[in-house]
Amino acid sequence: MRPGEARVRVVAEDWRSITYEAEFTQSNGERVVRRYQCALPKAIALRRLRATYIVGLWHEVDGASCYHVRQVVSPILSSGDEAARDDAVLVARALVDMERRATCGATVDSLQVYTVERAVDWQAL
């Protein structure tokens, strides 16, 4: 990356906000990383809340069950309920694979779904 150029990526998001990380190199060669959290306007946040799902996944590790839960905003806010649920499961599987494969061996193929609930309907047991 040349001085003055920045690489920006999404590092976290939920129904209320999106957090971006900007990485750039200063003219003296120093690498700088900054995070910016952007609150979403109320109308968009409420729409995203309705499209947010709690996805519970599990897989076997050495004869034991390993559980993972992710809160996922369906990537297409205008999808119907069944398609949004499927999209949320797909995203949750990818996140767990990316975040936990090295720790517990979770992969997209090994993860099984045990629950998919809208966040607005979620009630902890």
- 1 pLDDT higher than 60: no
Q: How confident is the model at residue 4 (pLDDT cuts 50, 70, 90)?
A: low
pTM across the whole model: 0.77
Percent of the chain predicted with pLDDT > 70: 94
In this structure, are residues 100 and 68 in contact, taking their beta carbons and an 8 Å threshold?
A: yes
Angstrom distance (rounded) from CA 20 to CA 2: 20
CATH class of 51-119: alpha beta
Q: Name the residue with higher pLDDT: 79 or 62.
A: 62
pLDDT in tens, 24-38: 988 888 889 999 999
E strands within 30-111?
31-39, 52-61, 64-73
Strand pairing partners for 35? Answer: 21
Average pLDDT in the 53-62 region?
A: 95
pLDDT digits (tens, 9 = 90+) for 78-93: 778 888 899 999 999 9
Strand order in the sheet with 17-25: 6-13, 17-25, 31-39
Domain boundaries, the chain: 6-44, 51-119
Mean pLDDT of the chain: 90
- The answer, yes or no, to whether residue 125 has pLDDT greater than 80, is no
